[in-house]
Structure 1
Amino acid sequence: MNRIRLDSFDVFVSIVRCGGFRAAALERGVSSSALSQTMNALEETLGIRLLNRTTRSVSPTQAGQRLLERLTPALSDIRLAIAEVDELRDTPSGTLRINAPAPAVDHFLCPLAFDFMDAYREVNIDIISDAAVIDIVEQGFDAGVRFGNQLAQDMIALPLGPPLRYAIVASPDYVEKHGHPRTPQDLIDHDCIRRRFPGGTLVTWRFSNGHDEIEATPVGRLLVSSAHNELQAALAGRGIAHVFDDYAKPHIRDGRLVELLPDWSPALPHWFLYYPSRRLPSAAMRAFLDFVRRYEWEAQA
């Protein structure tokens, strides 16, 4: 048997995890054809097909699934061994892969990462914006960002930024034409901009004034899949939006949006940066964690 390059196995795992050559190529920063050539060479060397390929999907064969089950912990051990060797470095280096929902990326993770990269020139950061709850260890991430109630018990978590709140907003033109709702119940007479989570469920709007709590399913003609599109629609006067106030604050300040029902906006928990408790963090990850602990969030607001 010809010698097999270790990174060929890593390519195989990436293709299965990402569900295809194109997604894996984007993640790894190479071409799909390069990954295809690597897989063809691996299968030829092993003398067995590892992947079922169709025009729409890629999945492991029985042999591929068996190899995958062995490779996943083995590659994790290799990464851990590299991290332990990295302990001997004087200067943190390497790549940190972090998975986080778009709002956390926009308002907290990106500003933090930009400043961190200025301080640590030999560390690269790969940020994947994803709202789905995933296993960051299985998916090959160093850390993730989620709300505290979404974290597994074997994770260590650090607060990322100040507490959050939602803002109900609309353009001044919309309010002038359709009126100013005074209670959450009034929204039933308004055109609300609805949003769908990646899993397909619709976002529910929750309200609290300290005494009463109300949960409402918004009604409206427009349905979008991102907070950016929801905000864009509100700025265009297409209805009332329900977004994190970090998205809305700049537009409220310049008069392009009006906040509605501010007394009904409940406080939300922090985002948390989390990482596995059973894995020894690399020097780069330890430096990043220390940076998070020292970061001045209010100065970035």
Structure 2
Amino acid sequence: MVADLSAARAFVAVATAGGFRDAAQATGISASSLSGAVKRLEDQLGLRLLNRTTRSVVPTEAGAHLLERLQSAMADVEAALERANDYRETPNGTIRLNVPVNAARLVLPRLLPGFMAAFPNVRVEVTAEHGVVDILAAGCDAGIRYGERLTKNMVAVPIGPKSQRFATAASPAYLARHGHPVHPSDLLHHACLPGKSGSGAIATWEFERDGEIVSIEPPGTLVVDVNAMELAVSAAIDGCGMVQLFEEWLRPALDSGALQPVLEPWWHSFSGPFLYYYGRDHVPAPLSAFIGYVQENRW
């Protein structure tokens, strides 16, 4: 049997106040409405819960036992609701993010230290994988992906760099042996170190210059999963071939001279990534705080 919870609350109010009039003053509900609710609960249970006289209202034995149990249960409910309210008012809890490896390497390191210092009661858990996932099914609160990989039922806000570009590079030793390409099509005659997705598809390399867009399928002497591109960078530094990756990723090797730019006038620029999540209403406080932080800290 499913009892009427509103009637149970009315019974607690009347039994605690010791009468319908006092309970009405305490709850703002009319005495007649309270009386009807208690009568409804008694009918549902098939028990008399209150002994009523013109002077007093006193719980029966069954009513006293029920009152004790309901007061304890309602205290637990109020505590649970108060705890939930804490999540709304104060960022306190866990954010679970699903991001590609490049975001874990290039975007989050510039955001998380400041965010965690500003919101020390928020725990951040990061899972790195390349493919777009159903963040809810994966148990995550939000993800980071690029615009072309988002679906329409997601709320997306820009995060991190306003724009990025892919850089192509090779070691000085490789270029000394094989020469510098002057057009992207020349790469078809070079050793390349492309990445591949989880489906096994090799990522195309894209170039753009003066409105001309060129896409090539790089011939791979070493093909690396996109989640392990550091191996391709290491191989390129060791002279194994050409690598194409986010400029920020290759920048330390370019600045040190371990790698040299290749086809730099053709490097392709694109918009930065997005933080995406489901639903605009009642966003959990930790996630809402993170959204606000990333919107204020783009570069």
Query: Shared fold by TM > 0.5?
Result: yes
Distance 1:278 1:175, change over 3 A: same
User: Is 2:98 the counterpart of 1:96?
Assistant: no
Equivalences for 1:1-301 in 2 at 5 Å? 85-86=84-85, 90-162=89-161, 163-225=163-225, 226-277=228-279, 280-297=282-299
Given that residues 230 and 241 in structure 1 are in contact (C-alpha distance below 8 angstroms), is that contact kept between their aligned partners in structure 2?
yes
Secondary structure of the structure 2 residue equivalent to 1:136: coil
Matched-pair contact (CA < 8 Å) for 2:160–2:294? no
**1:91-121 CA distance string (max 9 Å, x none):** 3111100001000111102331222111111
8 Å Cα contact 1:99/1:130 also seen in 2: yes
Q: Secondary structure at the residue paired with 2:236?
A: helix
Report deviation, 1:185: 1.3
The percent of aligned pairs where both chains have the same amino acid is 34
Is the 1:166–1:243 Cα contact (8 Å) retained in structure 2? yes
Amino acid at match of 1:292: V
**Equivalents in 2 of 1:184, 1:149: separation in Å?**
24
SS in 1 for 2:114: helix
Question: How far apart, in 2, do the equivalents of 1:150 and 1:296 lie?
Answer: 20
2:164 touches 2:269 (CA, 8 Å); kept in 1? yes
Conserved 8 A contact 1:144-1:273: yes
Using the TM superposition, give the Cα deviation of residue 296 of structure 1 relative to its aligned residue in structure 2, in angstroms.
4.7
Counterparts in 2 of 1:280 and 1:184: CA distance versus 1, 3 Å: same
Distance in 1, matches of 2:272 and 2:187, equals 27
Q: Any stretches of 5+ residues in structure 2 without a counterpart?
A: 1-79
C-alpha offsets along residues 236-291 of structure 1, whole Å, 9 cap, x if unaligned?
11100011111111111111110110111121121000111255211111111111
- AA at the equivalent of 2:124: I
The alignment's TM-score, normalised by the length of structure 2, stands at 0.68
Residue aligned with 1:232, SS: helix
SS at match of 1:154: coil
Return the letter of the residue paired with 1:113: L
Choose 1 or 2 for highest CA Rg: 2
Letter in 2 for 1:155: M
Give the total of aligned pairs: 217
Q: Distance in 2 between matches of 1:259 and 1:144?
A: 32
- Aligned mates of 2:197, 2:82 — CA distance in 1: 35
1: CA distance, partners of 2:218 / 2:291: 39
Answer whether contact 1:98 1:144 (CA < 8 A) is retained.
yes
TM-score by length of 1: 0.68
Change (3 A) 1:186 1:88: closer
**Structure 1: how far apart are the matches of 2:113 and 2:100?**
17
Deviation at 1:125?
0.3
| Unpaired stretches in structure 1, ≥5 consecutive residues | 1-80
1:209 is displaced (CA, Å) by 0.6
